[in-house]
Structure 1
Amino acid sequence: MKGLKIAVIGGGSSYTPELLEGLIKNQKVLHVAEVWLADVVAGQKKLAIIEGLAKRMIQKSECPIKIIATFDRQEAIKNADYIITQIRVGQLAMRRYDEYISIKHGVIGQETTGAGGFMKALRTIPVILDICKDIEKLAPNAWLLNFTNPAGVVTEAVLKHSNVKVIGLCNNPINYYKKFSETYNVSVDDVSISFTGINHLIWITDLYIKGESRIEDIFNGWSDSYEAKNIPAFGWDLEFLKSLGAIPCGYHKYYYQSDRILQEQLEQFKRNETRADQVQKIEKELFTIYQNLELNEKPKALEQRGGAYYSEAAVNLITSIQLNKKNVHTLNVRNNGSIACLPNDVCIEVNCVVERHQITPLQVGAVPPQIRGLLQNVKAYEELTVDAAVYGDKDLAQQALTLHPLIPSAERAKAILKEMFIVNKEFLPQFTSLL
């Protein structure tokens, strides 16, 4: 059997050791021959550190996997079977600007939603589409697994503007499975969850344990839903959950508890301690740990980074495709009528049947108005964001940001955009009017 070639674009990411761990654990099934770690010259130091750790992990495992670190993206992509994108255009420095400018203007600053997520999308989409051109030319049969945030928006851009076989992935769904498996003391295989929505805006509309619906347990306060480490743990009002008739994901707090979130962020802003500052500190500590020549496994400290189990989601998906398992994964894919209240060509996050040749979203059915209203609003924002990023249209950019539920007015959107465009000028070549 020919071994798999896997290309990781953004190979110098602090998350890469977790991906390597997953590939090593599943080597007997996947038969990986090469893992190419591609990055940009600006990330040279981090890439070298990750390369060293990756090779030590491989040596310890005694797996016949070759690790190649490179700045030649095209060589990494050439003839790859799977390509994983986990890039951050502008590095963590621009994430900090995203958060601080947002909070400065009195709105929530966050990596994947609101003004911060919007700016990250504008920087990222042109780069991802450029990567897709290489994939179309050099690895046309490859699957692209996109982890780059905002994952739903970035994946939608690829779906609409390339011919690449793309799947968007997030660690939120797999964390829910693990949470409820632990809560009910059952195997993950005994947990079935119905999801409706888009990336970082998904609702659990039913929860089954061994075939029995248990969602009422959550409404009655028997168990808390999973919360990511990067989201404030304010808890949920049970009366609100019952009236909603669904379990919101942690990211819904930016919408449903925006006053409390903003107040906390304003206090962090005054102390120069936003999530971006925390992540920079965690990253620095992680790469210090990674440089230890005695380290030959993924360190426990990586869990503080907020992306736990992302590699498990990726490796499980690759395994399902390779073995044509026809099982169910929660993925970011083209709607194709699965959620009837959204356009067919947009990206959604729902349960899908995974086959070697295709990924098919399962029918969701009717979406109640208390979910549909917010869902359609945010999805319209995402559609405009993709168009603004692809065409470099400043007017569409203002309309997109104005439409977002976390931006209170057109005037606020305009002021935020003006400052963000100045700071991000070098990363927005598509907006020629800024040059």
Structure 2
Amino acid sequence: MKIAVVGGGSTYTPELVDGLARMRGTLEVSELVLIDPAAGRLADIGPLGRRMFAREGHPGAVTWTTELEAGLAGAQFVLIQLRIGGQAARLSDETFPLACGCVGQETTGAGGLAKALRTVPEVLRIAAKARELAAPGAWLVDFTNPVGIVTRALLDAGHRAVGLCNVAIGFQRAIAAGLGVPAHRISLDHVGLNHLSWERSVRLDGTDILPSLLAEHGALIERQTKLPIELIRRLGVIPSYYLRYYYQHDPVVAELLESVPRATQVAEVERELLARYADSTLDTKPEELRRRGGAFYSEAAVELLAALHGDTGEVRTVNLRNHGLFPTLPGEAVIEVPARVTASGPVAVPTAPPDPLYAGLVTHVAAYEELAVEAALHGGRERVFRALLAHPLVGQAHLADRLTDDLLAANRDHLAWAR
């Protein structure tokens, strides 16, 4: 099969290549094509990918192109992992909300909305090209943040799409490593939205061990969530790292104001990685890539593609339509839960709705995401304002007004309707 990666010049790409190379028995790939307008990056990352395949004895070809149409032609899977505006736009997303005393983060709050406004139109343009040029029945797999919003836009436009995030697999792998057991023995009852999720149970060989995890492995849980174990024990569930922006908003804002923005750190890591990728003797994923983030993305991606292609019915945590699973959300909302994956697509595993302790927050953010899609599709200052007003990390009219102006001023180069 042919897999096309849109955003193939990303410093993440060797992570994906590594997974495809190592897991070649899981998914037969005849061609992996990296697509990116950044020819200079492709000139280093493409040959590295080719060397990585060769090192693992993978028979597939690794190619690269700056031409979207050529790369998409005949692809059975199209993976989307792009960043409109690069790290400079990310730095803006992480900093302009802080001036209003709000969380500055690239996937949630005002920064997340800014990223969605830049991203959704471009992803839909790519998806339209894929519908025209890719193989019949091709799947679009979105790893581009904010995943829930982007996936909702793709599905609303009628595309065969599924959203993918590494939060659930990251928890699974970390817990397995902490317990010293193989990852396949650990399963999670993961519930919520993308970057707004909780683990309601952690099963080892089918037995729920969440109570003992919370009681005996506090340090492990704190490392994964960046939240105090005392709070997590009171919740009785394990929240994702992103819940710290809600549960500890003011302390996190204070912390962000005093720290070096993540975008600045990542930009430095990327410079180091690109220098490593240019080394013609390198044929493995460099250790420095761990600092970039996105751990286990490759394994999640390969497992999902294998399940879709092989019609396996295996359970994977993905972003898909709600279709009544959470009764407080509309059917069109996109949720993040375990799903049984076949060639026809993922179907959510039946599960109980979110507990009242966090069901309100899920409903609140899902409503914001619906408004965010509208703003991304149709533009307009008032739509941006409404989305920000609906977001629980903003929620006040004077803040929404100021953040709207700041967001539009920072993103005029990327939003034609805002100029």
TM-score (norm: length of structure 2) = 0.96
Alignment check: 8 A CA contact 1:176 1:225 kept = no
| Cα 1:306–1:226 shift into 2, 3 Å | farther
1:374 equivalent in structure 2: 361
Q: SS in structure 2 opposite 1:216?
A: helix
Q: SS in structure 2 opposite 1:124?
A: helix
Q: Percent identity?
A: 36
Q: SS in structure 1 opposite 2:413?
A: helix
Alignment counterpart, residue 364 of structure 1, candidates 351, 354, 358: 351
Q: Does 1:207 align with 2:207?
A: no
2:250 equivalent in structure 1: 259
Q: Does 1:78 align with 2:70?
A: no
| Cα 1:36–1:226 shift into 2, 3 Å | farther
Q: SS in structure 1 opposite 2:140?
A: strand
Q: SS in structure 2 opposite 1:109?
A: coil
1:173 equivalent in structure 2: 168
Q: How far apart are the structure 1 equivalents of 2:43 and 2:215?
A: 50
1:52 equivalent in structure 2: 47
Q: How far apart are the structure 2 equivalents of 1:117 and 1:406?
A: 11
| Cα 1:235–1:422 shift into 2, 3 Å | closer
* 406-415 vs 218-227, which moves further: 218-227
Q: SS in structure 1 opposite 2:25?
A: helix
Alignment check: 8 A CA contact 2:31 2:60 kept = yes
| Cα 1:131–1:179 shift into 2, 3 Å | same
CA deviation profile, 1:14-71 (whole Å, cap 9, x unmatched): 011111111112223422111111112xx22212111121122223233222222111
Contiguous gaps of at least 5 residues in structure 2: none
Q: Letter of the 1:152 partner, please give it.
A: G
1:418 equivalent in structure 2: 405
Q: Does 1:151 align with 2:147?
A: yes
Q: SS in structure 2 opposite 1:32?
A: coil
1:27 equivalent in structure 2: 24
- Which runs of structure 2 are paired with 1:19-418 in the superposition (5 Å)? 19-40=16-37, 43-139=38-134, 140-161=136-157, 163-223=158-218, 224-225=220-221, 227=223, 234-238=226-230, 240-268=231-259, 273-418=260-405
Alignment check: 8 A CA contact 2:388 2:395 kept = no
- Structure 1 residue 198: Cα displacement: 0.4
Contiguous gaps of at least 5 residues in structure 1: none
The count of corresponding residues between Structure 1 and Structure 2 is 417
* RMSD of aligned Cα (Å): 1.6
CA deviation profile, 1:53-104 (whole Å, cap 9, x unmatched): 1122223233222222111111111110111000000111111111121112
- Structure 1 residue 184: Cα displacement: 2.5
Q: Letter of the 1:126 partner, please give it.
A: P
Q: How far apart are the structure 2 equivalents of 1:186 and 1:63?
A: 29
Q: SS in structure 1 opposite 2:221?
A: coil
Q: How far apart are the structure 2 equivalents of 1:322 and 1:408?
A: 43
Q: How far apart are the structure 2 equivalents of 1:277 and 1:114?
A: 19
- Structure 1 residue 209: Cα displacement: 1.2
| Cα 1:27–1:366 shift into 2, 3 Å | closer
Q: How far apart are the structure 2 equivalents of 1:227 and 1:90?
A: 31
Q: How far apart are the structure 1 equivalents of 2:34 and 2:384?
A: 33
CA deviation profile, 1:206-243 (whole Å, cap 9, x unmatched): 11112221111233253432756xxxx743242x3344
Alignment check: 8 A CA contact 1:126 1:390 kept = yes
Q: Letter of the 1:347 partner, please give it.
A: V
Q: Letter of the 1:261 partner, please give it.
A: V
* 112-121 vs 402-411, which moves further: 402-411
Q: Letter of the 2:138 partner, please give it.
A: A
Q: How far apart are the structure 2 equivalents of 1:104 and 1:49?
A: 38
Q: SS in structure 2 opposite 1:220?
A: helix
CA deviation profile, 1:189-213 (whole Å, cap 9, x unmatched): 2212111100010111111112221
Q: SS in structure 1 opposite 2:18?
A: helix
| Cα 1:355–1:274 shift into 2, 3 Å | same
Alignment check: 8 A CA contact 1:16 1:50 kept = yes
Q: How far apart are the structure 1 equivalents of 2:88 and 2:229?
A: 36
Q: How far apart are the structure 1 equivalents of 2:217 and 2:410?
A: 47
Q: How far apart are the structure 2 equivalents of 1:279 and 1:178?
A: 23
Q: How far apart are the structure 2 equivalents of 1:68 and 1:344?
A: 40
Q: Does 1:17 align with 2:24?
A: no
Alignment check: 8 A CA contact 2:221 2:229 kept = no
| Cα 1:68–1:226 shift into 2, 3 Å | farther
Q: How far apart are the structure 1 equivalents of 2:317 and 2:344?
A: 17
Alignment check: 8 A CA contact 2:381 2:404 kept = no
